[in-house]
Homo-oligomer: A and B are copies of this chain.
Amino acid sequence: MEKKTQGRKKIDMEKIKRKDYLQVTFSKRRNGLFKKASELCTLCGAETAIVVYSPAGKAFSFGHPCVESTMDKFLATASLIEIGESSRGVPSFPDYHRNIGINKLNRHINELVNQLEAEKKYGESFTQMEMANKDQFLWNKPIKNLEFHELEQLRVSMEELKIKMVNRTEGLKRASMLSSFIDINQVGRTEDEGVQ
């Protein structure tokens, strides 16, 4: 009972290394987060749902009025699309090819978005303008009935952009704190827990 306690230190915003400390911090901050959420609900009459997975994979959730209903609502709203037999009332299979196209497109978009997500966090200068402009020209074209080959054009265009972004990202190498940056294209982890 000698030590007069230190008060907090300024936090450096990177992953905590010490395991016990991480556990404590996770617990404290998780509770803090849930409290904030609770206050938001009370003060503003908001409806919220939160799920947090600990590094160990354990799930914690908060919800007002209820986690699952709120999440369901959100996901349902986001996934209202049902194409299936939609367009002409024809049974499912005629649309098969279209879906393949969309799925492909979707994958590329996902990659693009993810990489962009990573990139933007480091807010680096970034010379994509001409690329963007070129694509913009393509994308903003009046699209009445976009057909397959046009979709394909778009996809190719995006793929090019993606490649440029990958190159840019790999050339980045920010001097500071970038040690933990891992590109999507090589998911292999370098750390110990590597089992997946």
Contact = CB atoms under 8 A, between A and B. Distances in A.
Interface of A: 11, 13-16, 22, 25-26, 29-30, 32-33, 36-37, 39-40, 42-59, 61, 65, 67-68, 70-75, 77-84, 86-87, 92, 95-96, 98-110, 112-129, 132, 135-136, 139-149, 151-156, 158-160, 162-163, 165-170, 172-196
A53 B44 contact: no
Contact of A87 (B47, B92, B145, B190): B145
Contact of A136 (B26, B163, B172, B175): B163
Given A40-B52, A173-B125, A143 B183 contact: no
Contacts of A135: 159, 163
A114 B82 CA distance: 23
B99 A81 contact: yes
Copies in the complex: 2
Contacts of A195: 188-190
B149 A148 contact: no
A51 B49 contact: yes
Given A22-B44, A189-B55, A143 B108 contact: no
Contact of A105 (B14, B46, B109, B191): B109
Contacts of A182: 15, 118, 180-183
Instruction: Please indicate which of the listed interface residues A71, A172, A173, A192 has the most CB atoms of chain B within 10 Å of its own CB.
Output: A71
A186 to B, nearest CB: 8
